[in-house]
Structure 1
C-alpha cells in the first residue's frame, strides 16, 4: 500500500524519515550512552530556552541552569497567556505545529511544537504501535473519538481520517441504536485495530456482552485495541479482552507532549524515555523514590518552539521499583491532582476512590452502563448514572455503606438516573468532578 500517512506528514513539513532515524538511534543506545544522551539533552533544552525564550527566562529568573532540581515547575496556569508571548525567538505561528489541550484538567491552553519535535512524536507513536504489528500506512483503524461539529472542522477531521487510514465512530451518541450500527460496520469492514477513549470502548463492549457477541467472530482481522485518555480499570480490561477477543493496550499521553507511557508486550506500562524525561515529584518539587506516589512532571527534550520543562501535567502517579533511567515503568496512575474530594473530617481523597468503590458494587449485574460522581458540598455528592433499570434502595444502601467504610461515614448522596451522561466537547467522560 502507498505510504499515504508518511507522505501527508512530510507534505505538512514534518521531517518523518529524519525523526524515525533519530528515534532508532536513541532506542539502540547502551545504558551508559543513554545516561550521557539524557544529561546532554536536559542541559541543551534548558540552555536553549533560557537564551531564546523570554517567557521562560522570566519564569526561571536566571540565564543559566546550576541545578536541575532548582528549576521551577511549570503548570497549566503559567501557560494561559497568548501563545505569541510563549514562543521562542525564530519561531512564528506559521512555522510551528499549533493545537490546544483538551481541557480535561480544567485548564485548557494553546500550545506549539516545532516541526521536528512533532515529527518525533509521530515517530514515537509509529515505533510503539509497531510492537503490536500496527503500521499507520496500511493498518485500518476503528477510531472511537469525538469530532468537531462545525462544518469546516468536521470535514478537516474526516480528511485526516482518510489520510491516516481510519474509520471514525462518533461517540457523542452511544445509544443502542447507534451501537447496533457500529456492529454492522465491524461486520463489513476489515479493521486491524481499535483506538480511542476508554469509556466509549467499554460501553461498546457492554453492548456486545448483552448480545453475547465476541467481536473477533464478526471481524476476524482485528489484532489489538489501544485505549487512551481515561482510566482503564482492571475489571473493564477483562471485559474488553473477553468481548473483543484481542489484547488490550493501555496508552497514556498528552497532546502537548507525546505518548507518555504505553503498555509493552510484557504487560508493563513503559514510559517514553526517548523524547521525554518523566519525574515523580513531592510538594517541594523534589524527586520521590521509585514506588512512592507524587505529581507527574514531564520535560519535552526536543521541543524548541515552546518550553515544556518540568511541566506538571496534573496527574498523580507511581514509578515501579524496577524502573531504570532508560526504561522507566509506570506502576500506577492514580488520577488527576484536581480530582480530589475534600471531606468533612478534613481528609482529602482522590475522587476516583468513590468511582472504584461504587463501580465494584454496581458492576455485578451489568445493569448500570456508566456513571459519574460530582461533589456539590463538603458532605454532599451527586451520582448520575445510565442504566436499564433504576437502582434499588438496597443497592444504594450498599454503595453508601461501602463509601462510609472506605472514606468516612455521614456523607450524603443523591442518585439520578439519566439517559446519557455529559461529555466534554471532545467526547471525554470526566468520571469525578468537584464543584467546591
Structure 2
C-alpha cells in the first residue's frame, strides 16, 4: 500500500465516516477478526445478534409487534438460528403495504432508498446509519481481501441515479480524493465505449467496479478494436447487481488482465456475499443470515438450490427479517482454502438486465428504461420487450388502470431514450408469466448490438 492510499484509508475516510456518524471503521476492524472464526463461533454471534434484533423490533416496530402477537412468537424462545423459520417470509408487497409500520418508533435518521427495479417490482424502503455502517464495512473488508484499499485508483461503471445524481461539488471533491472515477453505464454507443476505454487507460485504475454486463460489453469493444487493456496494472474487477456468467468472467479477465471478483447483494438485502481470491463466495455472516427455501418457504439443506432469503441483523430501525430476494442459489458445506470461517454460497442465479438499442444505434443498459417505470406507484410489475428498432412493447401489471397522464409519461420517457419515432405500445395485463426456464426476464431485446 502506497503512502497516499494509507493516508486516505487510515485518516481521511475514517474522518469522513465519523462526520457522517457512521461506525464503518470499527465494524470493519471487528469483521476482520471474526472472519477467521470457525462456523460454530460465527453462529453463536449470529444468534446473539438475532435475539437482540427480535427483542428490539418486538418492542419498537409496530408491524412486528403485531405479527409476533398474532403468531404467539416470543423472542425469548429462540434457541438457535433455525428458529427463524417460525416467522413468515417477508416480500416486497408486504413492505409496500406496511411501510410506515415497518419503521421503528425509535428511528431518528432514516434515509429513503429505492431498489433499481430490475426485479420488476421497485421498492421504497428506509436505511439507518447503523445499516449503512455495516454495509460499507462489509464491502470495505472484501476489497481488502484483494490487497486493495480505499484510496487506490478505481473506475466505477454504474447506472444508479442515486450515484449519478449526487455528483455535486462536495461529492466530486470527495471522489477525487478517494481516486474514484464514475462512468455512467446507461449509454453504450461505440463513441461512448471508445471514451470509456480512453478514460480507463488514462486513469490506470487498480480496480474496476460495475455490472458484469457493462464491463463485458466494454471488454468486447476493446477486443473488437484490437486495443490492449491488460497492461494497465488492474488487479481485480469487482462485479455485482447481475448474474455473472462464465463467458463474462472469462472475457473481462482476459481483456483487462485481472481476476474477476463476484459480489452478491443489493440495496434492500444488503451486502450478502463476496468472492475471495481463492474463489470462495463468502457470506457476510456477522450481519446476514442466509436461508435457502423451497417454493413453500421451508428451509433446504446444504447443496440444494432454492430461493435465497436473508435476515439483515443491523436493520432494527427498518427490519429485513426473512426477506425474499427472488434469486436462486445454494449453500455450500465446504470450507474455503483461504482459511476464513465465513460460510459459502454457490450457484447464485441472480436476475440479469439486457441492453437495448436506440434508433440511432446507441446501446444502453436496460436500467435506462427500467428507471422510467420504477417510481410510478401504480405499477406492480412489468416486462419490456424491444421487438425491433422501431417497436417496443411494455407489459404492465398495475394496482389500478393507468390514467392517460401516466401512460404519456411512460411513452415519452421511452421515446426520449429509444428515439422519438419509435412506437411504444403499453399493454396493461393481469399477470406476466415466467420464462420456460422458470426465471423472469424484465428487459428483453430481440435485436443484436452492432
**TM-score, scaled relative to structure 1:** 0.73
Shift of 1:371: 10
Q: Are 2:244 and 1:232 equivalent residues in the alignment?
A: yes
Residues 1:306 and 1:6: Cα distance change in structure 2 (over 3 Å):
same
Structure 2 distance, partners of 1:23, 1:278, is 17
Structure 2 distance, partners of 1:308, 1:21, is 24
Q: Are 2:338 and 1:328 equivalent residues in the alignment?
A: no
Shift of 1:98: 3.6
User: In the alignment, which residue of structure 1 is the partner of 2:28?
Assistant: 20
Matches within 5 A, 1:316-355: 316-322=328-334, 326-336=341-351
Q: How many residues matched?
A: 354
User: In the alignment, which residue of structure 2 is the partner of 1:309?
Assistant: 321
Contact 2:188–2:364 at 8 Å: present in 1 too? no
Shift of 1:82: 6.8
**Unpaired stretches in structure 1, ≥5 consecutive residues:** 340-351, 356-368, 373-380, 387-418, 423-429
**TM-score, scaled relative to structure 2:** 0.70
Aligned pair partner of 2:262 in 250, 256, 280: 250
User: In the alignment, which residue of structure 1 is the partner of 2:372?
Assistant: none
Shift of 1:299: 0.5
Query: What are the Cα deviations for residues 228-264 of structure 1, in whole angstroms up to 9, with x where unaligned?
Result: 1112111111111111111111111111232211111
Residues 1:289 and 1:323: Cα distance change in structure 2 (over 3 Å):
farther
User: In the alignment, which residue of structure 2 is the partner of 1:288?
Assistant: 300
Residues 1:159 and 1:81: Cα distance change in structure 2 (over 3 Å):
farther
Indicate the SS of the match to 1:432.
coil
Contact 1:297–1:310 at 8 Å: present in 2 too? yes
User: In the alignment, which residue of structure 2 is the partner of 1:50?
Assistant: 58
Aligned pair partner of 1:155 in 147, 168, 176: 168
Query: What are the Cα deviations for residues 360-418 of structure 1, in whole angstroms up to 9, with x where unaligned?
Result: xxxxxxxxx9998xxxxxxxx967589xxxxxxxxxxxxxxxxxxxxxxxxxxxxxxxx
User: In the alignment, which residue of structure 2 is the partner of 1:143?
Assistant: 156
Q: Are 2:120 and 1:111 equivalent residues in the alignment?
A: no
Aligned pair partner of 2:74 in 22, 42, 64: 64
Indicate the SS of the match to 1:215.
coil
The two structures, once aligned, show a CA RMSD in angstroms of: 3.3
Residues 1:13 and 1:21: Cα distance change in structure 2 (over 3 Å):
same
Structure 2 distance, partners of 1:150, 1:116, is 20
Structure 2 distance, partners of 1:151, 1:130, is 25
Structure 1 distance, partners of 2:291, 2:328, is 11
Residues 1:116 and 1:40: Cα distance change in structure 2 (over 3 Å):
same
User: In the alignment, which residue of structure 1 is the partner of 2:138?
Assistant: 124
Structure 1 distance, partners of 2:62, 2:162, is 37
Higher relative contact order (CA 8 A, sep 6+): 2
